[in-house]
Amino acid sequence: EVQVLESGGELVKPGGSLRLSCAASGFTVSSYGMSWVRQAPGKGLEWVSGISSSGGNTYYADSVRGRFTLFRDTSTNTLYLQMNSLRAEDTAIYYCAKDRRATAGPPYYFDSWGQGTLVTVSS
Amino acid sequence: DIVMTQSPDSLAVSLGERATLNCKSSQSLFYSSNNKDYLAWYQHKPGQPPRLLIYWASIRDSGVPDRFSGSGSGSDFTLTISSLQAEDVAIYYCQQYYTSPRITFGQGTRLEIK
């Protein structure tokens, strides 16, 4: 069964750092594009970052570029999101999502999502 | 970035009746080289992850009931639920991937039972 499981969310002060993890099972992250999508309280879905199936390309929304870094460990089949210089507006549930297509290139649409992990940025 | 605008923001429909949700993009999502519209629909229930319903504007994902259908092309798209069931109460999002990796979602339509 295909599953992704996020972890690492917690309360952090503005300017702080956090690393989110996304453990994949039932598929290999090196075969699919993956993304992080977040939902701020009372808001809709916002794409944050993505990685191509090859792992050679990473992509970021303007709102997080330069502060967030996405990388993966194929030996543990895990995706990570390193979040630095956190701001109050980064407060959200962060979802890890798998592209439906096993193709090269950036992710398009997502057929497997985790339950999400809550990041709260507050003093 | 392509802006996705959904309408209405909320919708109340009686059980067994048809629900029609709309999504409009700020530019065409149709790619003539492959004759496809780069649009997906998701269902999102509280406390659950989003669920992929439709991709390429009209293809139902596996396991999605056939009461869900997607239509439209270019900049105007529709998600139709032919006979609303109680379990369909959720927020529905459209998402464009024409400018992948810079994908964008609509603001969502909240669907309730009348």
* pLDDT per position as a tens digit, B65-111: 999 999 999 999 999 999 999 999 999 999 999 999 899 999 999 99
Pairwise CB contact (< 8 Å): B100 & A107: yes
State the Cα–Cα distance between residues B3 and B1, nearest whole angstrom: 6
Chain B touched by A109 (CB under 8 Å): yes
Closest C-alpha to A119, from A23, A49, A20, A42: A20
**CB < 8 Å to A110, chain B:** 50, 52
Can you tell me the mean pLDDT for B41-53?
A: 96
Pairwise CB contact (< 8 Å): B104 & A44: no
Query: Smallest CA–CA separation between B26 and chain A, in Å?
Result: 17
* pLDDT per position as a tens digit, A38-97: 999 999 999 999 999 888 899 999 999 999 999 999 999 999 999 999 999 999 999 999
Q: Which two tokens stand for residue A97?
A: 């999502």
**CB < 8 Å to A115, chain B:** 48-49
Chain B residue set in contact with A, beta carbons under 8 Å: 38, 40, 42, 44, 48-52, 55, 61, 91, 93, 95, 97, 100-108
Pairwise CB contact (< 8 Å): A45 & B95: yes
Q: Which parts of chain B fold into alpha helices (H)?
A: none
φ/ψ of A15, rounded to 5, equals 90, -10
